[in-house]
Amino acid sequence: MMQLFALNQKELFLRLKTSENGLSSDQVARRLVEFGANELATAAKKNYLLAYLVQYIHFFAIVLEVAAILSFVADHYAPNEGSDILGYAILAAVIINATFTFWQEYRADKAMEELLKLMPTKVSLRREGKIVAAMAHGIVPGDIMLLEEGDKVAADGILLEATSLFLNLSSLNGESAPVARDLLPGEAKRALDAKNMVFAGTTVLSGSGVAVASATGNATEFGKIASLTKNVRKAITPMQREIIHITRTFTIIALGMGCIFFALGLFSGKGIMTASIFTLALIVANVPEGLLPTISLSLSLASQRMARRNALIKNLDSVETLGSVTVICTDKTGTLTKNEMTLKLLWLAGGEEISISGEGYREPGEFSFDQQNESSENRLVAMFIAGLLNCRASIDEESLRGDPTELAIVAAGRKKGITAPEMKKVQEIIFTSERKMMSSVYQEGETTWLFAKGAVETLLPKCTTFLASDGTEHPLTEADRQAALTRADTFENQAFRVLLIARGKKAAEEDLTLLGLIAIMDLPRHGVSEAVASCKTAGIRTMMITGDNPRTAAAIANQIGLTHDRVITGPELEEMRDEQLEEILAKETVLFARMASSQKLRIATALQNAGEVVAMTGDGVNDAPALKKADIGIAMGISGSEVAKEAADMVLLDDNFSSIVIAIEEGRTVYFNVKKFVTYVLASNAPEIVPYILQFFLKIPLPLSVIQILSIDLGTDILPGVALGSERPEKNIMNRPPVSRKEKILDREVFLRGYLLLGVIEAMAAMIAFAFFLQQHGWQYGTVVLADPLLHRQAMTMTLLGAVTCQIFNGWTMRSWEFSAFSLGFFSNRLMLWAMATELIWVWALLNVAPVQKVFNTAHVPLSDLWILLPFPVLLLLSHEGYKWLRRRKNSQATALPDGG
Amino acid sequence: MKVIAAMNGLVSSDVATLYALRYAALFDYTLCLLHVLNPADRREEVELSMAEAEEAATHYRVKTERVFLTGEPTHAIREYLAANRTDTLFCSTRIRTKKRFFQNSLSEKLSRLSLPANLAVVRVAHVNAVFVTENILLPIREDRLSAQKFAFFSSLAKAFGAATEIYSIHLTDRRGLAALDTRTAKMLFQKINTRLSHYVNTMKLLDLPLTIKHALTGREIDQILHHLARHDFQLMIIGGRRGSPFPGFFRENPMERLFWHTPVNTIAFYARDRE
């Protein structure tokens, strides 16, 4: 049985139950019910209010909400003790956390909106023998569609009539060259390859046609792309996973500790009220309330830094995902190369080879002949005139117009100072992928000129003479043809695109005179080789995906140092099973050549199944599914379609591969900066928790109030946290392997550094300052309730200051995870300096500003009592720097061992 | 034994009849072309469709008979099925529109009834696909595949000589997905493969190629649609769920969503009630 596009018109009408006069209105109405409207299914609209409210029922939020309720209950039974302020403060923390998380997680997915813009709203149809204008969504299978130049096609259809019909199929296959349509399908097996089919979402570039609609809505080929784009859902990002892990761990610790001490409180006879307040305080002390907003702010700052370096981040979480990237799948043209074709070599039919210096369209250059005679220059000019008169491209100061190959000819002509003479163009026979050549016919007085350029294998058979070294036309012998073919082959082996230039003296593409060959190449971008090398050092595999032939792809790859284990072509990929592909991709670096954009999705999926974190570049409409599937979809800012940009997580403003590597460096930096920040926060948890535990077991007054804990978590810790988030990359950031999926921010080392090393010192500082102050002012051990409330407030202020002063130095030393903070330069993170200054001002305010003292339950402490605080920050600084030194030593020994024995 | 095609003269009903014809041809059953007469009828169109079906049936050497019933369609069909031993009733379906929200189609009404025959509800996306069916997809959840559904699936595959694929979907949320490593996922898939191995063996006996593919997802319908858009299938068979007599007012029924958005012809299979 035959495909629909292979049927003759009679059978086609029979199968679709239609006629050349179209359907009746009754039939249309019934088919609309049978097949549905010609619409692409869009995703259900997100309920943003519901999504926001969900943030309030997370585990983390619920704990804080219960704490707030307990505070209000405590205030009800014991008013004027500040419990209500505490309740409001905790609620504020909940709202801040919920808002930041919501802001980070939800953004509008506009890829589908952009896809829908490719569909028309109104169409011309023939129904009941009359031409009618109808809404595009009303088309049903069997409708007769009338197509004119400039029309967008609304449904897939089979052509019944076609007059010089050319379509732009780039939305389906990524190719922007016009594609000719015919009444015969050719040798197609699939609808997409059938030359007598038109497709929804494509545009009529020229000509006209009549087609019978064969599929509508989601059943169209464009509907499949829309479905692939819409129905791809990314896995949770590493950062989202980390946040879940961190908040869950902290919440479990907080609740666990709260429950234990609540039970201990009850059994030790402290009473349910005291035990509850105590539990509440411990929960608040354990939960890092400022963590989520600070992470969001850090990511936001990182995304701003990346935007300044030409990588525009659309989804904040993607910043950190970049740090985990293990494979970059990159396009060649425009990303690794300049997307500026340069005419580098030229061969005149007389036998001379000319090399041209200067890259791109605007750089000047020199012409070097390998041999030269009197007529060489004239023949070169003749060849350029033939080339220039047969192209539409133009280069001026402000703009470039035309396709890259033609621009290369114009640019080379400019280098030599050759311009096209004024002649009257009478006809242009355009380039198509089937013809592989283009011609222009000019009239110069009585003489007709035809200038042609195209693929050697197409155009050489049409040549009968050549312009020889004596400047005259000679018959083209078999030996001459062979010489031209050999030269073309030599150029192609060097990854050049080779075009033959010819001219004729009649308006037909025959009996042409061979003028010569031009060799054009899209040269690698500057800095790409270094970026590729940097990826290699960073343990990231770079795989090129290109539509070019394997030879060209391999030549470019070699030029930029992109090593590969094997080349897989599009047809080979088609034959491969998924498991086979996954196995190859898990071990080998592959260069993909002759690829269709639609195959990118399969590559991304296979790499992800092989456990890789994939960054994928793309620019076309049909790249959108792969961009959405990849862990990081990267769209091209200059050459990319709006659909690709909307589907991507990151947009490269300069289309440059080097910017991806910069973004990855930034992503890795963010990962370690968040790690530093979490350690920094953990350290301050210790002086918040320890006073409560000590007060529980020892007979001492309360060393720190809950509101004072919040003043650290939501006050003094935030700015240094953000400053840590904006710290520059560590020296060896791109010498490490990518962050593994199994690696966690909150790992054993973070706990060790945060709680045991730095936290213990901070807790010591807080408690020694508290006890020393009380001791100095006549307090006796065993006195739990102090007679002088001012003395108690002063003592609590000392505890708070003990923690805050240590945190100032903690922020400074935490700037590097591995290296000495002193090696980073004093002014290299100005935000940290501002944060430290702000903390010092805050310390002064706690000691001297009455409203601040009232809210945070602090009091003025004489300078003579503050000296006790001084040794601890210094001790903390030295301890952490010492720890890092030991770690570096251990690492260098470990690295030295395998080689050194 | 009969295979019944419920016909109404529409294009999709003709396509459903062709599926019924291929199924009947495989087992050498009689194809019963059935129409329930109603006042808004286009009898000449129905008879034209029947004539075309009869012509096609001669090609497959399938005996046909025309049956015209009267009365309320579901009752009439039910009574006819009770009186005649029937293997499967094929019936096309249409889109539920807002305009016809309360007006259930015959296929919807039938799918809610307990019938003494299998019911195959056909949704047509491509009119011609029935002539070029080379690949058939059967999405299932994990290893949940009833013998009846598999029998129907393998019969159609045999009838068309088509390659087949079972697409096993393991439901998990995004967090679960993130927590799952490649090794664990592969072990899970292996376990499902083992449980489905007897079906693979059956297909081998029938000399039909069968692949089993797996997906981990939180949204099964989206995943199926994504899979269909990526691969070249001409027919999908899904297990029908006997729906509530009341259509979902607030939430789209997943089956309806799949029927509405499917880019390929789809048959929802409802196994007969056990006697």
pLDDT, tens digit, for every residue of A372-417?
777 888 999 999 999 999 988 888 877 778 778 889 999 999 998 9
Asked whether the CA dihedral B69, B72, B73, B77 is positive or negative, the reply is negative
CATH of domain A689-901: 1.20.1110.10
Contact B124 A578 (CB under 8 A): no
Instruction: Indicate the range of A97-106, A266-275, A362-371, B207-216 predicted with least confidence.
Output: A97-106
Average pLDDT for chain A: 87
d(CA A806, CA A263): 32
Residue A417, Ramachandran bin (φ over 0: left; ψ between -120 and 50: alpha; else beta): left
Q: State residue A423 phi and psi, 5-degree precision.
A: -140, 160
- Give residue A274's pLDDT: 76
SS3 B192: helix
Q: Write down the pLDDT at residue A179.
A: 84
Interface contact A3-B128, CB threshold 8 A: yes
CB A628 within 8 A of CB A649: no
Residues contacting B218, CB < 8 A, separation 6+: A233, B171, B172, B173, B174, B176, B177
Range A794-803 average pLDDT: 94
Contact check, Cβ <8 Å, A741/B181:
yes
Q: Which residues of A touch B223 (CB under 8 A)?
A: 231
Q: Is beta strand B163-171 parallel, antiparallel or unpaired with respect to B135-141?
A: parallel
Closest among A303, A7, A708, A105 to B128, alpha carbons compared: A7
Q: b/e per residue, A86-117, with b = 16+ CB within 10 A?
A: bbebbbebbebbbebbbebbeeeeebbebbee
Which residues of B make CB contacts under 8 Å with A? 10-12, 14, 92, 94-95, 97, 100, 124-128, 131-132, 174-175, 177-179, 181-182, 213, 217-219, 222-223, 225-226, 228-230, 232, 252, 260-264
Give the residue among A749, A764, A702, A768 at the shortest CA–CA distance from A887: A749
Residue count (chain B): 275
Q: Catalytic residue positions of A?
A: 331
Please identify, in words, the CATH class of the domain defined by A345-519. alpha beta
Given pLDDT bands bounded at 50, 70 and 90, which one contains residue B108?
confident
The ranges of chain A annotated as CATH 1.20.1110.10 are 689-901
Of B213, B222, B260, Cβ closest to residue A36 = B260
Query: The complex's ipTM?
Result: 0.89
Residue A349 has what pLDDT?
Answer: 92
Residue of B nearest to A41 (CA): B261
pLDDT of residue A258: 86
- Using an 8 Å Cβ cutoff, are A628 and A234 in contact? yes
Looking at the predicted structure, is the pLDDT value of residue A798 above 70?
Answer: yes
Interface test with B, best of A1, A2, A17 (most B CBs within 10 A): A17
Residue A840 backbone phi and psi in degrees, to 5 = -65, -40
Please tell me the distance from the alpha carbon of residue A182 to that of residue A159, in angstroms, as a whole number. Answer: 7
Rounded CA separation A150/A206 (Å) = 7
- Residue A826, pLDDT > 60, answer yes
Q: What is the pLDDT of residue B126?
A: 93
Q: Where are the alpha helices (DSSP H) in A560-623?
A: 570-575, 578-587, 599-609
Mean pLDDT within A602-631: 89
Read off the pLDDT band of A714 (50, 70, 90).
confident
What the block records as the tokens of A410 is 């114009």
| pLDDT value at A900 more than 70 | no
List the single residue in A with minimal CA-CA distance to B126.
Answer: A215
Check if the beta carbon of residue A792 is closer than 8 Å to that of residue A774: no
Q: What is the pLDDT of residue B239?
A: 85
Evaluated on CA atoms A768, A774, A777, A781, the torsion sign reads: negative
Provide the shortest C-alpha distance from residue A739 to chain B (in Å).
Answer: 15
Positive or negative, the CA dihedral A307, A312, A317, A322 is negative
In this predicted structure, the answer to whether residue B175 has a pLDDT above a threshold of 90 is no
Domain A4-35+121-230 bears CATH identifier 3.40.1550.10: no
Q: Which residues of A touch B99 (CB under 8 A)?
A: none
Could you give the CA distance from residue A784 to residue A53 in angstroms, rounded to a whole number?
Answer: 43
Residue A453's pLDDT is 95
- Give A502 or B73, the one with higher predicted confidence: A502
Kindly state the percentage of chain B with pLDDT values over 70: 89
Whole-number Å distance between alpha carbons of A795 and A800: 9
> A152: which DSSP letter?
B
- Containing A566, the helix (H) or strand (E) segment is strand A566-569
Measure CB to CB from residue B261 to each of A218, A240, A610 and give the nearest one. A218
Q: Are A258 and A283 in contact (CB under 8 A)?
A: yes
* Mutate: best of B52, B128, B211, B250, partner A, most A CBs <10 A: B128
Tokens, residue B133:
């069916």
Specify the domain boundaries for CATH 2.70.150.10 within chain A.
4-35+121-230
Is the Cβ–Cβ distance between A305 and A312 less than 8 Å? no
Which site among A233, A242, A587, A600 would you substitute to test the B interface, given the most B Cβ atoms closer than 10 Å to its Cβ? A233
> Would the pLDDT of A112 be above 80?
no
Asked whether the predicted pLDDT for residue A712 surpasses 80, the reply is yes
CA distance A514 to A451: 10
Q: Is the separation of the CB atoms in A453 and A515 below 8 Å?
A: no
Smallest CA–CA distance from B257 into chain A, residue: A41
- When pLDDT is averaged across residues B12-38 and rounded to a whole number, the result is 94
Give the whole-angstrom CA distance, residue A210 versus residue A651. 40
pLDDT surpasses 80 at A79: no
pLDDT of residue A240: 74
Fold of A311-336+525-655: Rossmann fold (3.40.50)
For residues A667-688, give the mean pLDDT: 90
pLDDT band at B249 (very low <50, low <70, confident <90, very high): very low
Q: What angle do CA B90, B91, B92 make, to 5 degrees?
A: 130
Per the CB < 8 A criterion, the answer to whether B254 and B221 are in contact is yes
pLDDT number for residue A896: 63
Domains and CATH numbers, chain B: 1-132+265-275 (3.40.50.12370), 134-233 (3.40.50.620)
- A-chain CB neighbours of B94 within 8 Å are 33-34
Name the residue facing A141 among B94, B127, B132 (closest C-beta).
B127
User: Mean pLDDT, to the nearest integer, of A305-317?
Assistant: 82
Which pLDDT value is given to residue A565? 92
Name chain B contacts of A17, Cβ cutoff 8 Å. Answer: 11, 14
Give the pLDDT mean for A548-558: 86
Report the residue of B8, B10, B11 to disrupt the A interface, i.e. the one with the largest count of A CBs within 10 Å. Answer: B11
Percent of chain A whose pLDDT exceeds 70: 96
Q: pLDDT band for position A526 (50/70/90)?
A: confident
Shortest Cα distance, chain B CAs vs residue A180, angstroms: 25
Closest CA to A196 of A184, A180, A209: A184
At residue A44, the pLDDT reads 60
CA dihedral A63, A65, A69, A72 (to 10 degrees): 120
Of A30, A190, A231, the CB nearest to B225: A231
A461 CA: distance to closest CA in chain B (Å)? 40
Whether the CB of A23 is below 8 Å from some CB of chain B: the reply is no
Chain A residues close to B232, C-beta within 8 Å = 190
pLDDT surpasses 50 at A745: yes
pLDDT of residue A901: 35
- Tally the C-alpha atoms within 13 A of residue A510's C-alpha that lie toward its C-beta: 1
Per-residue pLDDT for B245 more than 50? no
- The residues near A897 (Cβ < 8 Å, ≥ 6 apart) are none
Radius of gyration of chain A from Cα atoms? 36
Q: What would the mean pLDDT of A432-446 be, rounded to a whole number?
A: 85
Lowest mean pLDDT among A98-112, A682-696, B37-51: A98-112
The reply to whether A786 touches chain B by the CB within 8 Å rule is no
**CB-CB contact of A189 with A8 (8 Å):** no
Contact by Cβ (8 Å): B156, B19:
yes
Q: A759: helix, coil or strand?
A: helix
What is the rounded CA–CA span in Å between residue A587 and residue A567? 14
Distances from the Cα of B51 to the Cα of A866, B9, B30, B87, B93, angstroms: 104, 11, 15, 23, 21
**What's the pLDDT at A897?**
53
Transcribe A458-501 into DSSP letters. Answer: HHGGGEEEEE-TTSSEEE--HHHHHHHHHHHHHHHHTT-EEEEE
- The answer to whether A518 and A717 are in contact (CB under 8 A) is no
**Chain centroid to CA B231:** 19
CA dist., res. A633 & res. A614, Å (int):
8
CATH 3.40.1110.10 residue spans of chain A? 345-519
* Contact flag B213-A31 (C-beta cutoff 8 Å): no
Tokens of A239: 């950062």
Q: pLDDT tens digit string along B117-129?
A: 999 999 999 999 9
Q: Please, which pLDDT band fits residue A156 given cuts at 50, 70 and 90?
A: very high
Residue A457 has pLDDT above 70, yes or no: yes
Helix/strand/coil for A591: strand
Helix, strand, coil tally for chain A in percent (to 5): 50, 15, 30
Predicted local confidence at residue A157, as pLDDT: 95
Confidence of residue A628 (pLDDT cuts 50, 70, 90): confident
How far apart (Å, rounded) are the C-alpha atoms in residues B267 and B92? 9
- Provide the sign of the torsion angle of the four alpha carbons A262, A264, A265, A266, taken in this order: positive
The secondary structure of A498-526, three-state, reads EEEEEEECCCCCCCEEEEEEEEEEEEECC
Closest among A347, A367, A348 to A357, alpha carbons compared: A367
B163 vs A127, B24, B125, B233, CA distance in Å?
39, 20, 20, 9
Contact between A766 and A690 under an 8 Å Cβ cutoff? The reply is yes
Q: Is A189 on the interface with B (CB under 8 A)?
A: no
Report CB contact under 8 Å: B11, A3.
Answer: no
Closest Cα partner for B207 from B143, B161, B268?
A: B161
Query: Facing residues of B165 across strands?
Result: B137, B211
